[in-house]
Structure 1
């Protein structure tokens, strides 16, 4: 294991800045809900600590100095703000159980709308944006109320498994990745894909999904290189 990184070290401060940027971008794109929901990124030192947005701040106002550092037990280690309990129970479990470095949890409207349907999730054979997620989506149909204990967080994490995206029935979504910029790109395009499906379904006309082979090929093409994801995030950095 690498030496533990200090909260004020340049690598950690860069992660804080990137996490704050992702939160402001999500607010800008209409993916936020009040002062609820959380984004987190694990420190790359194997210490079992991760960065998280604090309790009580709108995503649009969050800056790097507002980010807090916590451990997998829910203890706040650094930062000037408090942490919301449900954030700890969900994010700590997902980081620990799935091994995902970046965990983004939202109640963004169109994705959440699909969690209210019998299918519970996006049809990844429909739009081109949806096909990028083919083979990467899990659905947790069991809604147990607010995640107020470690057992519920671990149940959600196990339902996600090795998927990059998990639709939480009657709740919202989790989008995970190895990097903040890649995960945010997925979050943005997931909502766009869900919006297209909801709008198409609202017409009452039968939908026309592609076949599985085509959807799988598009997923491979989209994820074959991530430069577009990185360029998008840098464009957000320049404009937000």
Structure 2
């Protein structure tokens, strides 16, 4: 028996939040043609989720445009309104395998992608923003092209495990979070962290890497600031142009 879905009001709110996240992502210059995908679980067990429709530009996405899918539906790709194959491969598999991954954001933001293209894309703790992700970042360096096979999704789900950030080698970044605002805040700060690392490495000078103890203390220090995410997201939403 399937777990109950959340209330209609909660689903409507989730639709609005996710739709606004797409538009904010585009506003910040992180969209890519009509590709990349965000999703959010609707059911209590995480199996049913919202996903952007195939090849719809981020700037145009409204709450009602989002597809409601079941990760266990084996016939989804045979339907006329099937999602993008790579989206189903990654998000469908991750929602099926990782019920605690309520929101999954995948993007090719510039600095995160540049970091992912380094031979060693480790997020080294060298400041507040990079240390934010200390102990929270997983890596998948087995890039094999566009992810459109189920085994690719299985590998990514296995790679991220219980972490909240997955650096996808030669590809981009995937963030998971409990709410849209939480996940988007991590996407925002990961891009800033990646920018700092790329700029620091470009100097050619040795990095002043924090000790594990200081890095962990800094990461832990971010916890009381979690409420920033919703405030920041609400501000960014307020700057969106009307559709």
Question: TM > 0.5 between the two?
Answer: yes
Gaps of 5+ in 2: none
Greater Cα shift, 47-56 or 166-175? 47-56
2:114 corresponds to:
113
Residues 53 and 66 in structure 1, CA contact (< 8 A), matched pair in contact too: yes
The alpha carbon displacement at 1:148 in A equals 1.4
Structure 1 residues 47 and 127: alpha-carbon distance in aligned structure 2, compared to 1, 3 A threshold: closer
Counterpart check, 1:192 vs 2:189? no
Gaps of 5+ in 1: none
**CA distances 1:171-209 after superposition (whole Å, capped 9, x unpaired):** 111100111110000000100110111111112222211
Counterpart check, 1:135 vs 2:138? no
The alpha carbon displacement at 1:81 in A equals 5.6
1:163 corresponds to:
163
1:62 corresponds to:
61
CA distance in 2, matches of 1:47, 1:39: 14
TM-score scaled by length of structure 2: 0.90
What are the residue-to-residue correspondences of 1:12-91 with 2, within 5 Å?
A: 12-46=11-45, 48-73=47-72, 82-91=82-91
Aligned-residue Cα RMSD (Å) equals: 2.0
Residues 112 and 172 in structure 2, CA contact (< 8 A), matched pair in contact too: yes
* Equivalent residues, number: 235
SS at match of 1:32: coil
The alpha carbon displacement at 1:2 in A equals 5.1
Residues 47 and 72 in structure 2, CA contact (< 8 A), matched pair in contact too: no
CA distance in 2, matches of 1:65, 1:108: 25
